Amino acid sequence: MRFLLNTCRAYSTSFSVVPRYRITQLGRVGQIENARQVFDELPNKTVDSWNSIIAGYFQNNQPDEALLLFKKMPEKNIVSWNGLISGYIKNGMVSEAREVFDKMPERNVVSWTAMIRGYVQEGMTGEAVSLFWLMPEKNVVSWTVMLGGLIQEGRIDEARRLYDMMPEKDVVARTNMMAGYCKEGRLSDAREIFDEMPWRNVVAWTTMITGYVQNNRVDVARKLFEVMPVKNEVSWTAMLMGYTQCGRIEAALELFEAMPMKSVVTGNALILGFGQNGEVAKARRVFDQMMVKDDATWSAVIKVYERKGFELKALDLFILMQKEGIRPKFPSLITILSVCASLASLDHGRQVHAQLVRSRFDEAVYVSSVLLTMYIKCGDLPKAKLVFDKFSSKDIVMWNSMISGYAQHGLGEEALKIFQSMFSTGMVPDDVTFVGVLTACNYTGKFKEGLDIFESMKSKYMVEPKTEHYACMVDLLGRAGKINEAVNIIEKMPMEADAAVWGSLLGACRTHAKLDLAEVAAKKLLVIEPENAGPYILLSNIYASQGKWNDVAELRKNMRARSVKKSPGSSWIEVEKRVHVFTTGDIRAHPEHSMIMKMLEKLDVLLREAGYNPDGNFVLHDVDEEEKLYSLRYHSEKLAVAYGLLKVPKEIPIRVMKNLRVCGDCHTAIKLIAKVTEREIILRDANRFHHFKDGICSCRDYW
């Protein structure tokens, strides 16, 4: 919320001539051609009619046409000259306005004030001050305009000296001075002016309340609010937003319910306030109760859903918004692009992209970065590369996104090529760049290249390695079977190793059967992330593989005591612009579960004919073999793939997303499914992308 300085005053004139009034009205609503037609058809054109049509051209941003007409005027009065100055100022042409001011035959107080206002609006306060002191006579408007200019520039003490010199102080001048003090945090000075005001209007009261709110004095603001003689929509909004900004949402809701007129602005503020406090259901309730909604209302709820992890609800609301005929504006489109990226909703992402192109928003570097991220996360790398190549003035975010995108898709060579291309443009890599490059080397088994790049970070590129870079190196060394070297790197780290570093070592030790060291890494993880179920499960499997059943029991006891639970696996797929979510073992939750079951049975036959037999890459010692096989069969990614085979046309890749890392059995199964069904399947798990085709995965079984 900003403090508004009232530097303009309205002058009312009664039009007695209907054509002249018609010219003015048409000009104000943008119909300048029709206004010109009315003007041209006038048999006798008065000075006032000339002034009206010239003002109309200025209002419609056609100053050249206005000047041509001004030069054609058979006679001009001081209103004509003042209109020319004001017109130029409205179009930001202060130099042209000054030229007219200097050569006009006579000036009145309106001429001087208009010119000073022009300087103030353009931030040329020094010129405004100089001209102000040259004025032969000043009225209360002149003083107020100059006062507003000084306050606007933060010259509050000069403004106060000018304020004290004013021969007449009306409510506008006093309110402006008060607003200036509030903006600077000088509430006692502001309150002194407020208390001395002989008469206060609703703007003065609201300004003082807003001052308290903006300076975190909400309780004082509320006391003043309670004794206001008359409150308007702005007053209620200022007070309510004070509560939302300081997190007192229940007080805001109480005030909202007491409001005699519930404005859209206050409803929007309350929605965002509830969202920031994590009370998503209450935010939606306010939205549903609002009789009038604007684009900002819809955008606010969509933003709340997106920030709090309710992407599906955000997408559903976006679809409803369009059905209701509300045309989404820029904030809504950007938010929903992030949602599309999270859900990998490619169809909706393409739709939003088209809307951004139509509105010419896609030409901004920030928008291009968001689009690039969306296409990468949706698994459409060719389209992401088109967006990347189309934008000439790329920033570091775009370069990093493209490098990371190729890395996540297992295309290490392409990632390294983009990395090398950065230097030809003069772009300097940052720490995020190297995370992407090292990840690319890691995911594609480029051990030597990764080691060389890591060692050159500080010496060649002047980038200090961080924990995430060390985690990449531990993972890279671990994948290459160089466990001792990975341990040496951890020991030599200049900072404390975090969960990512120990997690990388744990994965490597488990892969290469270094169980004693894996136990050390797992215990480190339990200390760093005691609420994360992953280390417990891995450590339990390690103990079980060594027959340490007492340790397994003790570990599970600790899990129960700390209420640690494994996150349920869920996967989703977009079909015909609708996202279908599947949870491991819960096939009957889907309305078309019988069709999916039949497809799974068909796949079982095809896979067994191809020699597939689930080997259980992870150990589940608390279930019997039959239950284990059932669990594997109904893993969420398999359910989503089966549904994709039923619904996605053969020529289109099946795109599936999973919230966790894909398990070994499902990875093997989906490779074979892609082969026996002759389909391309793209799976995005918690770590990376897997492109399955002809029985091969793009990760080359590195994941």
* 246-273: pLDDT as tens digits: 888 888 888 888 888 778 888 888 898 8
User: What percentage of the chain exceeds 90 in pLDDT?
Assistant: 46
Q: What is the Cα–Cα distance from 376 to 342, expressed in whole angstroms?
A: 11
Phi first, then psi, for residue 27 (nearest 5°) are -65, -40
- Position 525 pLDDT exceeds 70: yes
| Cβ proximity of 402 and 384 under 8 Å | yes
Strand-pair category, 654-658 with 681-684: parallel
DSSP characters over 236-274: HHHHHHHHHHTT-HHHHHHHHHH-SS--HHHHHHHHHHH
pLDDT of amino acid 215: 92
Dump pLDDT digits (tens) for 41-85.
888 888 998 999 999 999 899 999 989 999 999 999 999 999 999
Task: Determine how many CB atoms are found less than 10 A away from the CB of residue 237.
Answer: 24
> What are the residues whose beta carbons fall under 8 Å from the beta carbon of 198, sequence distance 6 or more?
none
Q: Which residue type is seen at 281? A: A
Comparing C-alpha atoms, which of 362, 381, 302, 384 is closest to residue 336? 302
Enumerate long-range contacts of 69-74, CB under 8 Å, 24 or more apart. Answer: 73/47
Instruction: Return the DSSP state at 494.
Output: S
Query: DSSP secondary-structure letter at 445?
Result: T
Confidence (pLDDT) at 573: 93
Segment (H or E) for 658:
strand 654-658
Give buried/exposed letters for 184-215 (b at 16+ CB in 10 A, else e): bebbebbbebbeebeebeebbbbbbbbbbbbb
Closest-CA residue to 347 (of 637, 576, 45): 576
Q: Is the pLDDT of residue 485 over 90?
A: yes
CA distance 359 to 353: 10
Q: How does residue 626 score in pLDDT terms, banded at 50, 70 and 90? A: very low
Instruction: Classify residue 488 by its DSSP letter.
Output: H
Q: What is the pLDDT of residue 1?
A: 45
pLDDT at 187: 94
Contact present, 298 and 320 (Cβ < 8 Å): no
Q: Which two tokens stand for residue 493?
A: 């780290």
CA torsion, points 433, 434, 435, 439, in degrees to nearest 10?
A: 110
**Does pLDDT of 277 surpass 70?**
yes
Q: What pLDDT was estimated at residue 614?
A: 60
Please state, in angstroms and rounded to a whole number, the distance separating the CA atoms of residues 196 and 174: 9
> Is 457 a residue whose pLDDT tops 70?
yes
The C-alpha angle 642, 647, 310, rounded to 5 degrees, equals 80
**Mean pLDDT computed over every residue of the chain:** 87
pLDDT at residue 632, rounded to an integer: 55
**Integer CA distances (angstroms), 312 to 26, 569, 654, 656, in order:** 47, 17, 19, 15
Mean pLDDT of 147-160: 92
pLDDT digits (tens, 9 = 90+) for 346-369: 888 898 898 888 877 777 788 888
Residues with Cβ within 8 Å of residue 32, at least 6 apart in sequence: 26, 56, 57, 59, 60, 62
Residue 512 is predicted with a pLDDT of 83
The dihedral through the CA atoms of 345, 351, 354, 355 has a sign that is: negative
pLDDT tens digits along 395-434: 899 999 999 999 988 888 899 999 999 988 889 999 999 9
Q: Chain centroid to CA 536: how far? A: 36
Cα angle: 540, vertex 542, 548; to 5 degrees: 75
Does 625 have pLDDT greater than 50?
Answer: no
Task: Work out the angle at residue 568's Cα, subtended by the Cα atoms of residues 567 and 572, and round it to the nearest 5 degrees.
Answer: 120
Instruction: Give the Cα separation of 8 and 525 in Å (integer).
Output: 64
* Amino acid letter, residue 258: A
Note the helical H segments in 592-635: 593-609, 625-633
pLDDT band at 7 (very low <50, low <70, confident <90, very high): very low
Give CA–CA dist 239/230, Å, rounded: 14
Instruction: Round to whole Å and give the CA distance between 592 and 594.
Output: 6
**Tokens standing for 366?**
């920030």
Q: How confident is the model at residue 557 (pLDDT cuts 50, 70, 90)?
A: confident
Q: How much of the chain exceeds pLDDT 70, in percent?
A: 94
Predicted confidence band of residue 15 (pLDDT cuts 50, 70, 90): very low
Three-state DSSP at 580 gives strand
**pLDDT the model gives residue 547:** 82
pLDDT tens digit string along 374-401? 999 998 999 999 999 988 888 899 999 9
Residue 641: burial class (beta carbons within 10 Å; 0-12, 13-18, 19+): buried
Mean pLDDT calculated for residue range 455-467: 92
Contact at 8 Å (CB) between 117 and 87? no
Tokens of 114: 């208009």
pLDDT at 613: 66
pLDDT-derived band at 498 (thresholds 50, 70, 90) equals very high
Give per-residue pLDDT as tens, 527-544. Answer: 898 888 878 877 787 788
DSSP-H helix ranges across 409-561:
412-424, 431-443, 447-461, 467-479, 483-492, 499-511, 515-528, 533-545, 549-561
Q: For strand 689-693 and strand 570-575, is the pairing parallel, antiparallel, or unpaired?
A: unpaired
Rounded Cα distance, 519 and 252, in Å:
52
| Spatial separation of the C-alpha atoms in residues 327 and 358, rounded to whole Å | 12
Query: What angle separates helix 499-511 from helix 533-545, to the nearest 10 degrees?
Result: 30
Distance CA 18, CA 22 (A): 6
Average pLDDT over residues 111-123: 92
Whether the pLDDT of residue 16 is over 70: the answer is no
